[in-house]
Amino acid sequence: MPRTKGGFTTRQRRNRVLKQAEGYWGKRKNCFRSAQEAVDRALAYSYRDRRNRKRDFRNLWVIRINAGARLAGLSYSRLMGGLRKAGVTVDRKMLADLAVRDAAAFNALADLAKSQVAA
């Protein structure tokens, strides 16, 4: 049986990596070995940071809700506890949006939470 060298497959793999490295600076965009290292690292960072982005946004929402709650005379934990007791199922993303864009609606929710905390 004749020997196969796999040149086509190797070239395809290298071209795929170099295509992913488009826009990189210097040798990292056109030298396969450097491009391979750069692409591997970039993919690892993007995998990690897709998860970190969720963490960062939740942190931002909590900060915004806390600021709105303080203006309404509550702490963050008392606001969230009161909303939970009242059966309000608005998530942190929506609460943060209300705190920034619609203070009247947020204050109405805060008053509802206050009444639950006091009771």
The answer to whether 41 and 47 are in contact (CB under 8 A) is no
CATH T-level topology, domain 9-118: c-terminal domain of poly(a) binding protein (1.10.1900)
Which DSSP string do the residues of 25-44 spell out, in sequence order? -GGGGT-HHHHHHHHHHHHH
Sequence spans of domains, the chain: 9-118
Would the pTM count as exceeding 0.85? no
The C-alpha atoms of residue 104 and residue 83 are separated, in whole angstroms, by 16
Give 5-59 pLDDT, tens digit per residue.
888 999 999 999 999 999 999 999 999 999 999 999 999 999 999 999 999 999 9
